[in-house]
Chain A
């Protein structure tokens, strides 16, 4: 068994899809971790850490588009694809998230 196999993720059901209005984010606790989950207008789901690494801003309150999430406090923007800030300054953790029969499932 290799080293990486020892790190496993857990699928956590955090809530219902309709708890998140289109285009917005809501915060959940998944396996003791704070997660912000977003539902974009194109139907896609994204999950990130809940607090901005810059100054702890509440990312679930941020504005979104298909590429980025913008923190409400100081407008740092983070790419969904890898969590990197467009300014290159900070990065956020992103988590796999999917819908199963209307339930939001996050891998943490």
Chain B
């Protein structure tokens, strides 16, 4: 429970206490006062657009946000609820961003009323803020349908009932899932489906109640909705259609839901995602014209000439939009008007095309989903068994609607045809499927090539194919760089794969010619063998010496230093000349840096075998230094987390144990099972062999981390099949040696390199493989990429048959590194390697309060 308080109240994108910003004295500031009410997707985007147009010079900007947080990406709340994204990663603008841009953020302050005559905004904290221009971007709220018992006597939602609209509501659900078993989700639209899928992923039994006859009825036809229903049911989510909930049962906490047809569904969690309603309270209270939303004209102006409304709270030409793209179009137009960049800019409505992934199913819709006139053409491909339903509606040779469910490969062309009225193929079926007609028009590459430059790829940020190609032409060399430069893919993220395809297409040839791809590190224009030869030939023993001799212009490069340090250590052993600035912080202080700037300390525990005395010592040290968390690692060691940098040397001294190297690009650990001493199935003494391997290879640096394991039988209790090197006892004294396995972000079973007859042979062969990997792998290339790249047959030939005559060199090279091993904790605990090696790097701020468990 320790973590609960922090998680529930932490301010997303908040800035540490104690930081202040310079501000002009109000009386001296002649800039007009621009006040924005609402700090969501629309409001914050509007401020960005104003600043981009130089509006920081024209306006003193104040933003009211009802939530205490910075601005975050509301679209990404579903992945947060599903545990696929961390809440920190959905922050769009932190509090610091507002301060840095001179914008006053009144976070956590609800604006309640406007005096349009006096031009003042009144807020719940009793303040009155004057404005020259006021923008309402209040968004919408979760609609809670009337149900008996949904609220307690004081008007609050009954405990266990949640809306799904804000980060705080998402946090509340994440906090509840551990205590709940059965959830009912009300609402079979996009949000309801995503909530259902996310909750199911947390192990809850989920039932979905939807008042309409088919799912996603706003976007899908009944037929497509039925296909989606089948896909959702196949995930194990029960769907109840055409029925609404009338009652919420439970005294203190939700216990169930009563349906209109008399059925009762048990539930200890009820999520209401039955649509949203525009937040118009402040406009109504202030006498502005409000229908469904706040009524605005083509310049987003309300009936008061200095008050504007944008986003989901606005009603334009009778339409209220619930998507982010129109909100951002509003922001752009209004920024043009207010900054004077284009005083005549107008908004004429949005054609809504959406592409999203709902409950694991790809869905894209645009325009209408069924024919409306007698001569409308209508083409449907429906494959319920595969969960695929595709349809297009064509009128007068123009695409007026399309639905793609379960297969959105054709979305690029269809969106284009829909937006721009492109000519359509005579054979209409080509709109939906690729027909191999021999002309080769079937490939996805060609459709990317065929897309006109103006066609919009990222609907959220309005980025065209042309803009993406332009970024590539301007020198962006990766998908990430293009996304940073254009913001494509930075909204909901659903277009990322299309962005990638276009970047690859646009960079065609350039990428192939790009020589840097073969460099060992970016700052030295050499591949690894060439670089190693030059280092040996010119006797370069330090990172700075390598830069001086081999880098263009002798210029050092920050991102190359760590890889060079590793390489030089391997080549020179004890003759390496260390330079602390060539090391990553982890290697400088021999501990792994954590998100809050503290470190983790993992003592060596060979083969995962410990003793009561060692455990007692670790316990004493953990208490003495008030270590916030003590955790068993995946590598069979004990991790002391949240240690202050300045405490590291004293802790090592008190522990009196060697470093476990849980921070380096190096040999980390050798996991073992209990082997033959105790296990009744054990075929070999895996524990002792693991200890011997770890003793021999401890601390050996390598291109990427190396994780090893030894198991005493093929039951594989220590997961040797998925390790960089895994050793398996197979009986009669024989051991299998697997290489190139992984069970991290990639999962790969290792390849059987050889079966050998003794522990000594295991040690020798493992050493030869590790050294070959160290000498030939690219920087940060794990064995699971390296082994398939060089090929198992090649490895067998080199390491087993000595086809290249290098085995003796491999043995000698490895021995040099083994001889150079010194326990870094024993070394630096006595005397810091450099002045201030363990000085705090954030001196003033109290460390974030990590919960003590």
Residues of A with C-beta under 8 A to B557: 65
Q: Given A50-B842, A53-B96, A91-B100, is A63 in contact with B485 using a C-beta cutoff of 8 Å?
A: no
What 5 A-B pairs are tightest by C-beta distance, nearest first? A23-B581, A58-B841, A60-B841, A21-B834, A61-B585
Say if the beta carbon of B817 comes within 8 Å of chain A. Answer: no
Is B555 in contact with A66, judged by CB distance below 8 angstroms?
A: yes
Please name all residues of chain A whose beta carbon is closer than 8 Å to the beta carbon of B22 when the two chains form the complex: 7
- Chain A residues close to B by CB (< 8 Å): 3, 6-7, 18-29, 32, 34, 36, 41, 50-51, 53, 55-70, 72-73, 75, 77, 87-91, 93
Beta-carbon nearest neighbor of B832 in chain A: A21
18 example contacts (A-B, Cβ-Cβ < 8 A) are as follows A19-B835, A19-B836, A20-B836, A22-B579, A24-B834, A26-B836, A29-B844, A34-B843, A51-B845, A55-B595, A58-B593, A61-B597, A62-B558, A63-B561, A65-B557, A72-B584, A75-B559, A77-B558
- Chain B 545-561: CB-based contact to A (< 8 A → 1; otherwise 0): 00000000001111101
The reply to whether A27 and B842 form a contact with Cβ atoms under 8 Å apart is: yes
Closest to B593 in A: A72
Q: Which residue of B lies closest to A39 (CB)?
A: B581
The minimal Cβ–Cβ distance linking B408 to chain A, given in whole angstroms, is 29
Q: How far does the alpha carbon of A63 sit from the alpha carbon of B597 in the complex, in Å? A: 15
A34 proximity list for chain B (CB < 8 A): 842-845
Given A34-B844, A58-B841, A63-B584, CB of A53 within 8 Å of CB of B94? yes
Q: Are B484 and A58 in contact (CB under 8 A)?
A: no
Residue of B nearest to A93 (CB): B100
Q: How far is the CB of A24 from chain B (nearest CB, A)?
A: 5
Binding site secondary structure of chain B? loop
Q: B25 interface residue, CB < 8 Å from A?
A: yes
| Contact between B580 and A53, CB atoms less than 8 A apart | no
Q: Report how far A69 CA is from B843 CA in the complex, Å.
A: 19
A32 to chain B, nearest CB (A): 8
Please report the C-alpha to C-alpha distance between residue A90 and residue B92 in the assembled complex, in whole angstroms. Answer: 11
Are B580 and A61 neighbours in the complex by a CB distance under 8 Å? no
Most chain A CB within a 10 A radius of its CB, from B100, B835, B842: B842
CA distance in complex: A58, B484 (Å): 23
**B677 contacts partner chain A, Cβ-Cβ < 8 Å:** no
Interchain CA distance A77-B480 in the complex, whole Å: 14
A95–B312 Cα gap in the complex (Å)?
Answer: 42
A87 adjacent to B484 (CB under 8 Å): yes
Contact A66–B556 (Cβ < 8 Å): yes
Measured between beta carbons, the chain B residues less than 8 angstroms from A62 are: 558, 585
Known A-B contacts A23-B582, A65-B555, A88-B484; A53 and B562 likewise in contact (beta carbons under 8 Å): no
Tell me the chain B residues, 1-43 only, with Cβ under 8 Å from chain A.
Answer: 16, 22, 24-25, 28
The A-contacting residues of B in range 804-853, CB under 8 angstroms, are 834-836, 839-845
Q: Are A69 and B558 in contact (CB under 8 A)?
A: yes
In the complex, residue of chain B having the shortest beta-carbon distance to the beta carbon of A23: B581
Question: Would you give the shortest CB distance from A80 to chain B, in whole angstroms?
Answer: 11
Residues of B within 8 A of A70 (CB): 558-559
B97 interface residue per 8 A CB criterion: yes
**What does the 1/0 interface line of B84-108 toward A look like (CB < 8 Å)?**
0000100000101100100000000
Name the residue among B24, B523, B581, B584 with the largest chain A CB count within 10 angstroms: B581
Task: From the candidates A18, A29, A32, A56, name the one contacting B597 in the complex (CB within 8 A).
Answer: A56
How far does the alpha carbon of A93 sit from the alpha carbon of B844 in the complex, in Å? 17
CB neighbours (8 Å) of B597 from chain A are 56-58, 61
From known contacts A7-B22, A56-B597, infer whether A23 and B835 are also in contact, taking CB-CB under 8 Å.
no
Residues of chain A within 8 A (CB-CB) of B582 are 23
Instruction: Report the nearest A residue to B553, measured CB to CB.
Output: A66
Q: Which of A27, A41, A53 contacts B100 (CB 8 A)?
A: A53
- Given A23-B579, A34-B843, A72-B584: A65 in contact with B558 (beta carbons within 8 A): yes
Chain B residues whose C-beta falls within 8 Å of the C-beta of A28 in the assembled complex: 843
Which B residue's beta carbon lies closest to that of A25? B841
Instruction: Give, as a whole number of angstroms, the nearest-CB distance from B675 to chain A.
Output: 39
**Inter-chain contact B484/A63, CB cutoff 8 Å:** no
Within the complex, the shortest CB–CB distance from A53 to chain B, in Å, comes to: 5
Given the complex of chains A and B, what is the CA–CA distance between A77 and B558 in angstroms? 9
Most chain A CB inside 10 Å of its own CB: which residue of B88, B97, B558, B839: B558
Q: Contacts of B845 on A, CB cut-off 8 Å?
A: 34, 51
Min CB–CB distance A75 → chain B (angstroms): 8
Query: Which residues does chain B contribute within 8 Å of A59, judged by CB atoms?
Result: 841
Question: Given the complex, which residues of B lie within 8 Å of A57, measured CB to CB?
Answer: 597
CA distance A63 to B593 in the complex (A): 14
In the bound complex, do residue B484 and residue A89 qualify as a contact, i.e. CB atoms below 8 Å apart? yes
Contact B581 A63 (CB under 8 A): yes
Task: Taking A24-B834, A58-B593 as given, write out 13 further A-B residue pairs in contact, using a Cβ cutoff of 8 Å, ordered by the A residue number.
Answer: A21-B580, A23-B579, A23-B581, A27-B843, A29-B843, A32-B844, A34-B845, A41-B556, A53-B97, A62-B558, A70-B558, A77-B559, A87-B484
B556 touching A65 by the CB < 8 A rule? Answer: yes
In the assembled complex, the CB of B847 is this many whole angstroms from the nearest CB of chain A, namely 11
Q: Which residue of B lies closest to A92 (CB)?
A: B100
Contact yes or no, A27 B556, CB < 8 A: no
A56 contacts B558, CB within 8 Å? no
Give chain A residues whose Cβ lies under 8 Å from the Cβ of B561.
63, 65
Chain B residue with the shortest CB-CB distance to A58: B841
Q: State how many angstroms separate the Cβ of B553 from the closest Cβ of chain A.
A: 10
Q: State in angstroms the CA–CA spacing of A59 and B558 once bound together.
A: 13
The answer to whether A51 and B581 touch across the interface, beta carbons within 8 angstroms, is no
Assuming the A-B contacts A24-B834, A27-B841, A56-B596, are A68 and B558 also in contact, with contact meaning beta carbons closer than 8 angstroms in the complex? yes
B455 at interface (Cβ–Cβ under 8 A)?
A: no
Q: Give Cα A61 to B589, complex, Å.
A: 10
Partner of B544, one of A7, A29, A41, A89: A41
Cross-interface CB contact of B581 among A24, A36, A53, A87, cutoff 8 Å: A24
| CA distance in complex: A28, B584 (Å) | 20
The answer to whether B24 and A3 have CB atoms under 8 Å apart is: yes
**B585 shortest CB reach to chain A, Å:** 4
Q: A56, A62, A75, A91 — which one has the most chain B CB atoms within 10 A of its CB?
A: A56
**B84 CB, min distance to chain A CBs, angstroms:** 18
**Which residue from B96, B97, B580, B844 sits with its C-beta under 8 Å from A23?**
B580
The residue of chain B having its C-beta at the shortest distance from the C-beta of A34 within the complex is: B844
* Residue of A19, A28, A60, A77 with most chain B CB atoms under a 10 A cut-off: A60
| Interface mask (B581-599 → A, CB under 8 Å = 1, otherwise 0) | 1101100100001011100
Q: How far is the CA of A54 from the CA of B674 in the complex (A)?
A: 45
Q: In whole Å, how far is B197's beta carbon from the nearest beta carbon of chain A?
A: 28
CB neighbours (8 Å) of A91 from chain B are: 100
Chain B proximity of A82: nearest CB distance (Å): 13
B residues 454-504 touching A (CB-CB < 8 Å): 481, 484-485
- Residues of chain A within 8 A (CB-CB) of B840 are 27
Chain B residues closer than 8 Å to A53, beta-carbon distance: 94, 96-97, 100
CA distance A88 to B474 in the complex (A): 14
Contact of A6 among B25, B94, B485, B836 (CB under 8 A): B25
Chain B neighbourhood of A7, CB < 8 A? 22
